[in-house]
Homo-oligomer: A and B are copies of this chain.
Amino acid sequence: MNRLQLVENIFKKKSLLCVGLDTDLGKIPRHLLSEEDPVFAFNKAIIDATKDYAVGYKINTAFYEAQGIKGWVSMEKTVNYIPKDIFTIADAKRGDIGNTSEQYARTFFQTYPFDSITVAPYMGEDSVKPFLQFEGKWAIVLGLTSNAGSADFQLQQCGNELLYQRVLRTVATWGTPENIMFVIGATRKEQLQEVRALLPEHFFLVPGVGAQGGDVDTVCRNAMNKDGGVLINVSRGIIYASSGDDFAERANEEAGKYQKGMEQYFH
C-alpha cells in the first residue's frame, strides 16, 4: 500500500486506529478453543468487529511463531482476511546483515502479503535497506520504544543527542517518508513534539496506548501532521475487552470509542 492510499483511508474513516492482533491462545474466550483454528476464528471475529474503525492491523508475529506451523497457518489466513484497503503490519522486529534481511523482506512481503514490517536498527544501514526495495512496502524502524528497557540504550547520550534521536535522524536518510515509518512509543507531550519537529513528514507507529498507559489525545495533539502521520496501536484494550461470548461486540465498542476520540482531529 502506498502513502496516498493509506492517507485516503485515514481521512475517509477519520481514524488513526491500528488494532494489534497479539492473539494468545491462553487469553481468547474458552468457547473458541473447540474451533479447528481458534486463533483465526478469534482474529476473524475481531477483524469483522473493528474493520470500520481501523486503518491498520498489526500482527505480532511472536504469538504465532510460538505455535509452530499451526501459528504460521493462522497468521497467513489472518493477513489474507484483512480487507485490502487496510494497512497491514508484520510486527516482527527483524534485522540482520544484508543477504539475511533480504530473506526476511521476501518472507513478509512476498511469501506473506504484508504492507510493512517492524525492523530493529542496531545493525545499521545494510540491515535496513533490503526492506526498502519493494514498491508499496514499508520498513517501520524502532526509534523510541515504550518499555522500561528503552532507558538502557535508546535514551543514552550519544554525542550531542540521545541514541534514539541519532537513529531517527540517520535511518531517515536511508529512504523516504514513502517507505520508512518509525516506532515511537512516546507518551509524553514534549517527547512527541520533539520527535515530530525532527521528522515532520514521516508516519509514526505509536504503541503503548491503553494497557501500557498512553492516551490518544496527547498523541494526536502533539504528533499528527497534515497527512495524519500517526498510526495509534491498541492491542489488549480492544481484543481482550471481554473474555466472554460478547468479545467481538465489546471489541467493536472499544474500537468505536477510540475512533470517536480521534475524529475531532480531522477537520
Contacts and interface: CB of A to CB of B under 8 A. Distances in A.
Interface string A117-157: 00011111111100000000000001001111111111011
Contacts of A163: 153, 156, 158, 163
A196 interface: no
Interface residues of A, number: 56
Nearest to A167: B153
A104 B150 contact: no
A152 B60 CA distance: 27
A66 interface: yes
A60 B103 CA distance: 10
A121 B152 CA distance: 9
A95 interface: yes
A123 B142 contact: yes
A112 interface: yes
Contact of A170 (B98, B127, B152): B152
Interface in A62-120: 62-63, 65-69, 72-73, 76, 91, 93-98, 100-101, 103-104, 106-107, 110-112, 120
Nearest to A151: B124
A166 interface: yes
Given A153-B163, A156-B158, A95 B66 contact: no
Contacts of A213: none
Contacts of A111: 65-68
